[in-house]
């Protein structure tokens, strides 16, 4: 017997041994109603469209459905969206859309997280919401006989008393220090968020502060560069029904790079949403118009020989967003100009899309573009090499552009039920 024959026999022996071992480990097929495979093959096929879900945990906690990778194979499409809520947490909206034999069985369930809840608690509560929505579909399959429904020992109804009256406060700081033999960098970022959100009003105050010091050490030269900004954004909005809102935008700004010792603007605004605000997690087409006054006190003389300036202007913003089972699209268009010189204007557009082209193939695309001709704050004089390279001063530009595109294609088994955490994801 030659060497090649011995290797072939050895490979055959090993493959046979592994096949027997795996079969023995899986165990004999079970008969009767306890055989999981008989129920699993009839379980609901579900596609979950969620960018913030822990799918490993979901599959472990909800094993009584079949998770498929393509929406066209699904009998239930679940869209999960997230929005910031007034209490500092997030509003999660679960939309269940029945397809195939479940056509017409649609439902929407929401859950609002608390800023004091841990990520584990939020994950558990979100999974409970998902269970509740899927149970309606599972009840029409043999799997329902294998599902236990339980409740906590003490469920009591009581009136909720909010001593904070919907006010939410958030304070954060993030100092950062880097040190090398020839380079030192200190960066400090601080922020304060104050908000009060009810169905009738929305009031927000956002304060952001940043300080950066960079030190370059050479043999005969030791140079330090500073950059800082402070910004306060105030927003007050009053609801005027299902489609209209009115409010005030008041901003205060100081920035070394933007040449502002002090800048403030008051912009009374009105907004109209073509769709009711209640549908905002699924579709929006908003028109926001603002008109107002701006005062600038500059650090250095500008290229227009100004040290301070009073300005009047207006802006219009149109934003469209839709989230469906085929994907999602967000687009916004914004334009502004000053009344004293209509040539001083800025137009910007922002597009993000995620679309499923066909089974297994998805396309993502983002585009940000701006035509800029409103830089009234530019410093007079030439920029130094350090100011240019370190972006210490705002530089003149006629446009900004950023674009990206992505394609992904997945093929193979349509089922995705198994969880195996070994060696990570």
Distance CA 130, CA 135 (A): 8
Report the alpha-carbon distance of residue 414 to residue 324 in Å, rounded: 21
User: 287: which strand partners?
Assistant: 272, 318
Q: Could you say which of 2.40.160, 3.40.50, 1.10.3470, 2.30.230 is the CATH number of the domain covering 167-409?
A: 2.40.160
Q: How far is CA 184 from CA 84, 188, 366, in A?
A: 37, 14, 36
User: Residue 137 pairs with which residues in a beta bridge?
Assistant: none
Residue 288, number of CB atoms within 10 A of its CB: 19
d(Cα 258, Cα 197) in Å, to the nearest integer? 32
Q: What was the pLDDT predicted at 347?
A: 96
Residues 6+ apart with CB under 8 A from 404: 364, 365, 366, 367
In what helix (H) or strand (E) does residue 138 lie, and over which residues does it extend?
helix 119-138
Alpha-carbon gap, residue 246 to 269, rounded angstroms: 6
The span from the first CA to the last CA of the chain, in angstroms, equals 46
The answer to whether residues 168 and 144 touch, using CB atoms and an 8 Å cutoff, is: no
Backbone angles phi, psi at 353, to 5 degrees: -140, 140
Domain boundaries, the chain: 41-145, 167-409
**Separation CA 384–CA 83 (nearest Å):** 44
Measure the CA angle with vertex 370, ends 364 and 375; round to 5°. Answer: 150
Q: pTM surpassing 0.85?
A: no
Mean pLDDT by 10 residues, the chain (425 residues): 54 51 42 45 86 82 85 89 80 90 89 80 88 89 79 54 79 94 94 89 94 91 92 94 93 94 96 88 88 96 94 95 81 95 94 82 90 92 78 85 87 58 59
Quick one: which H or E segment has residue 224? strand 222-239
Q: Which two tokens stand for residue 105?
A: 């069985």
Domain 41-145 indexed as CATH 3.40.50: yes
- The C-alpha atoms of residue 254 and residue 228 are separated, in whole angstroms, by 8
Return all residues near 330 (Cβ < 8 A) that are at least 6 apart: 319, 320, 321, 350, 351, 352, 353
- Per-residue pLDDT, 38: 52
Q: What are phi and psi of 386, to 5 degrees?
A: -65, -40
Selection from 337, 324, 328, 333 nearest residue 370 by Cα = 333
For 244-299, where are the alpha helices, taking DSSP H only? Answer: none
């Amino acid at each position: 017997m030659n060497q090649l024959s011995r290797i072939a026999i050895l490979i055959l022996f090993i493959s046979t041994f592994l096949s027997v071992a795996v079969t023995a480990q899986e165990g004999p097929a079970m008969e009767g109603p306890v055989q999981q495979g008989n129920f699993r093959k009839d379980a609901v096929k579900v596609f979950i469209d969620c960018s913030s879900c822990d799918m490993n945990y979901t599959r472990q906690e909800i094993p009584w459905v079949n998770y498929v990778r393509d929406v066209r194979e699904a009998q239930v499409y679940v869209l999960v969206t997230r929005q910031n809520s007034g209490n500092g947490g997030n509003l999660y909206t679960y939309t269940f859309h029945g397809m195939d034999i479940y056509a017409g069985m649609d439902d929407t369930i929401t859950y609002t997280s608390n800023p004091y809840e841990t990520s584990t608690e939020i994950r558990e509560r979100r999974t409970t919401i998902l269970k509740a929505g899927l149970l309606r579909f599972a009840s029409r399959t043999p799997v329902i006989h294998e599902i236990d429904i339980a409740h906590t020992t003490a469920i009591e109804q009581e009136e909720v008393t909010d001593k904070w009256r919907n006010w939410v406060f958030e304070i954060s700081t993030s100092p950062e220090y880097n040190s090398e033999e020839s380079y030192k960098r200190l960066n400090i970022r601080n922020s304060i968020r104050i908000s009060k959100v009810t169905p009738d009003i929305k009031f927000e105050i956002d304060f952001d502060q940043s300080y950066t010091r960079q030190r370059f050490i050479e043999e005969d030269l030791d140079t330090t560069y500073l950059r800082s900004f402070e910004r306060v954004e105030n927003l007050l909005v009053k609801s005027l029904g299902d489609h209209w809102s009115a409010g005030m935008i008041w901003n205060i700004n100081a920035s070394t790079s933007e040449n502002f010792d002090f800048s403030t603007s008051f912009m009374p605004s009105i907004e109209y949403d073509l769709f009711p605000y209640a549908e905002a997690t699924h579709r929006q087409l908003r028109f926001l118009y603002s008109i107002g006054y701006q005062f600038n006190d500059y650090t250095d003389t500008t290229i227009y020989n100004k040290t301070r300036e009073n300005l009047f202007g207006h802006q219009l913003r149109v934003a469209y967003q839709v989230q469906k089972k085929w994907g999602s699209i967000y687009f916004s268009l914004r334009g502004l100009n000053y009344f004293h010189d209509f040539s001083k204007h800025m137009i910007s557009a922002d597009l993000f899309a995620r679309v499923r082209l066909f089974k297994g193939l998805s396309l993502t695309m983002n585009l940000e573009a701006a035509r800029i001709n409103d830089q009234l704050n530019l410093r007079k004089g030439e920029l130094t090499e350090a100011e240019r390279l370190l972006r210490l001063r705002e530089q003149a530009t006629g446009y900004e552009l950023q674009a990206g595109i992505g394609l992904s294609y997945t093929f193979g088994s349509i089922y995705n039920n198994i969880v195996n955490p070994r060696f990570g994801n």
